[in-house]
Amino acid sequence: MDINLFKEELEELAKKAKHMLNETASKNDLEQVKVSLLGKKGLLTLQSKKIKEANKEDKPTIGQELNRVRSVIQTTIAEKEKEINDKILTEKIAKEAIDVTLPGNQIAIGHQHVITKVKEEIEDLFIGLGYQVIDGREVESDHYNFEMMNLPKDHPARDMQDTFYVTENELLRTQTSPMQARTLEVHDFTKGPLKMISPGRVFRRDSDDATHSHQFHQIEGLVVAENITMSDLKGTLDLFAKSLFGSDRKTRLRPSYFPFTEPSVEVDVSCFKCNGKGCRVCKQTGWIEILGSGMVHPNVLEMAGIDSEKYSGFAFGLGIDRIAMLKYGIDDIRHLYQNDIRFLKQF
Ligand code: PHE
């Protein structure tokens, strides 16, 4: 084998390779050129097979030459590859460019419903006083909704609420009061007093008018421990009224009746609109009724397995809808449920 001829051929090959690589513009082209130079049947591969025919003393030179050309070709391929990739990336960036100066689509942001707002405001107050907030269920058993609240089967007070039955013994709860019985049954009094509120939706057979709806929201409250007295009830609810309607509000208790409290009271707050002089909001009385309350009836404690000689407590139940209406001057309860954005936006 003529070593000079071999060197010439190799030089030719190097030139040709350079030319071929210069011409490539795409990844596919490059792949093909790569194969045709370095592949199994590639030009350089064919050339390197000739080493077998060479003289022994020429072999190292031929080997060196082959390696040199191979490395030149590989470097050029790598450079070309980078060049192509850069080009692809630049084009991609140009194509996907976002014009940040274009005006965007306005996304309307919602906010809490006025009922949720008032509910959370009341929750915050009682959490601050060390109460737990406990969830109840909307489908309740006759047992908890009525029986455990001292309203046996034939009790006349059931009439006002006798209501939406799901099965013979289950109904959409008419009040959040069943949560009194449920928490009393499980509370461990060795660990401390029971102090809880339980908010939620309730349902009644009611006329739908400006102040009544067949569904509305209540918050139940219950405190039971040793030595809880009527003055605890009075102090707590007075604080509640002042925090919700303003620190210069006064409260008064009026005797009332609930089967599960004895004695029972209704709590009025002095009118925040006219300050007690008499106006449309308080129907000229100077007072607004805000909730029902009373000392927990011994029967309710005993039915839940609690010694009514040792423990006593007070309970209250308030209507969130009514409080929201008073607080924000809403004249029709149905506004709260009609989901008219123009109404809801105001709060
Ligand atoms: N559950 C009563 C109602 O719905 C309210 C209430 C609760 C009264 C707790 C006294 C004590 O009218």
What is the residue extent of each domain of the chain? 3-95, 114-344
Could you tell me which CATH number the domain at 114-344 has? 3.30.930.10
Integer Cα distance of 347 and 332 in angstroms: 15
Cβ within 8 Å of residue 206, ≥6 positions away: 212, 213, 214
Q: Which of 260, 289, 296 to mutate to test the pocket of ligand 1 (most atoms within 8 A of CB)?
A: 260
What pLDDT does 52 receive? 87
Instruction: Reply yes or no on whether the pLDDT at 175 is more than 90.
Output: yes
Alpha carbon 198 to its chain's center: 20
Q: How far is the CA of 132 from the centre of ligand 1 (A)?
A: 19
pLDDT(184) > 90: yes
Question: Which residues have any ligand 1 atom within 6 Å of their CB?
Answer: 175, 177, 258, 261, 292-294, 315-317
How many whole angstroms separate alpha carbon 25 and alpha carbon 156? 93
3-state SS, residue 309: coil
- Give, in order, the Cα–Cα distances in Å from 323 to each of 5, 49, 282, 320: 105, 96, 13, 5
Residue type, 241: A
226 has binding-site annotation: no
| Tokens describing residue 21 | 């690589």
Omega cis (within 30) before 263: yes
- Please name which of 255, 290, 256 lies closest in space to residue 270, comparing C-alpha atoms: 290
Contact call for residues 54 and 9 (beta carbons, < 8 A): no
238: closest CA among 146, 314, 147? 314
Say how many residues make up the chain: 347
Best mutation site among 148, 150, 177, 322 for ligand 1, i.e. most ligand atoms within 8 A of its Cβ?
Answer: 177
- Quote the tokens at residue 76: 């050029």
Q: Band the pLDDT of 242: cuts 50, 70, 90.
A: very high
58: nearest Cα among 1, 105, 115: 1
Is the pLDDT at 206 greater than 80? The verdict is: no
- pLDDT at residue 230, rounded to an integer: 97
Average pLDDT over residues 162-177: 92
For the CA of 222, the nearest atom of ligand 1: 9
DSSP SS3 for 130? coil
Residue 70's pLDDT band, with cuts at 50, 70 and 90, is very high
Lowest average pLDDT, out of 31-45, 60-74, 150-164, goes to 150-164
Closest CA to 259 of 288, 225, 224, 294: 294
The number of the ligand 1 atom at minimal distance from the alpha carbon of 177 is: 1
pLDDT in tens, 97-133: 888 899 989 888 889 999 999 999 999 999 999 999 9
Q: Coil, strand, or helix at residue 307?
A: coil
Q: Which is it for strands 287-296 and 215-225: parallel, antiparallel or unpaired? A: unpaired
Residue identifier of the C-alpha nearest atom 9 of ligand 1: 316
Say which DSSP state 125 is in: H
Say how many Å lie between the first and final Cα of the chain, rounded: 98
Q: Is residue 2 over pLDDT 90? A: no
